[in-house]
Amino acid sequence: MNLETHSNSLSVDFLALPQAELHLHLEGSLRPETVCALAAKYGVSASTQDVLKRYAYRDFVEFIESFKWVSSLLRAPEDFALAVRDLGGQLLAQNVVYAEITLSVGVMLLRNQSAEKNFEAIVAAAESFQGRGLQLNFVFDAVRQFGVDAAMKVVEAAEQCGSKSIVAFGIGGDELSIPAKEFRPVYEKAGVIGLRKLMHAGEVGGPEEIRQAIELLGAERIGHGIAAVRDPALMDLLAQRHIPLEICPQSNIRTGALAKQLELPSAQIEQHPLPQLFRHGIPVVLSTDDPAMFHTNLRSEYQNAQRMGLQDAELKRLAKMSFEYAFIDDNAKAALQRCGKATSALK
């Protein structure tokens, strides 16, 4: 599928805008050709067609199984560096000047890898893009079903790495596995060491998962959060507190999350609640989640938002929100957008 053709109906003005992305998993950005190269390195049989079959899902459980398989091929620091270099090139091609990349540190630790050595390689690869107009920061992510102790080890790994480019701690995985309240000490520790707080919630779980993430854990942005549309009072809360939802439309279609929230056998992109949430005054940051695994990119997601009925001015507002709610200071946000505009003008 040629993703670039999906940006044709976006305005020239919009396409010239610098972009930021805030919900993006490194492991889920691995393109089939990169997966094949890693598989060959480790003697794993995998053709492009095999990878594409893995990148097709009927539900969230099947997606998780594919994610586990793909991430199992990231075994050494140089593999993570390869993934960053591959992703950085993809982002630059879309005029992305800033991204917060989620790293599945919980999975690294489960596999007895050195999170510090992996992160050193990741940072070195990321720094090569700084001079090309792309700044990368990182989110250390735990896996909810691995438990509280495992999540605390992810926070401790972030503390040991001691890098300013680690801007946040988050938890993904099965949001229905362990109650949010159990993770309170983990989020308290993350706050003490200066990390911002994220949580995947309301993707396949209900509105109560979002509310608990905010009220019990102090989550400052919510990963997905599409279940909020089922609770008007929660929508009001998100709007009043200016808590952004990191919305990933194609992901919600591919995993069956949107169909689950709508209680339908399947769902189309036009049924996505993004416009309703956005027009209610809830901050929305449009993202790709796992772009290679969901056969999408950031421009395609803006195309999806357009298909939902958002107008050009609304799309531009969405693009601006991804800078407004990034975990960097206001001066850095302004500088990135200025540099991005200058770079676009030279193209």
User: Number of structural domains, the chain?
Assistant: 1
Q: Which residues contact 329 (CB under 8 A, 6 or more apart)?
A: none
Between CA 188 and CA 82 the distance in angstroms is: 33
Q: Which residues are catalytic?
A: 203
pLDDT digits (tens, 9 = 90+) for 63-83: 999 999 999 999 999 999 999
Rounded to a whole number, what is the distance in angstroms from the first to the last CA of the chain? 25
Residue 3, pLDDT score: 43
The residue segments making up the domain with residue 100 are 3-346
Residue 344, pLDDT score: 53
Other Cβ atoms within 10 Å of 243 Cβ, number: 20
Residue 335, pLDDT score: 84
Hey, CA dihedral for 216, 222, 226, 232, is it positive or negative?
positive
Residue 341, pLDDT score: 57
Residue 5, pLDDT score: 39
CATH of the domain at 304: 3.20.20.140
Q: What is the pTM of this model?
A: 0.93
pLDDT digits (tens, 9 = 90+) for 148-185: 999 999 999 999 999 999 999 999 999 999 999 999 99
Owner of token pair 């593999």 = 79
Extract the residue ranges of the chain whose pLDDT is less than 50: 1-7, 342, 345-346
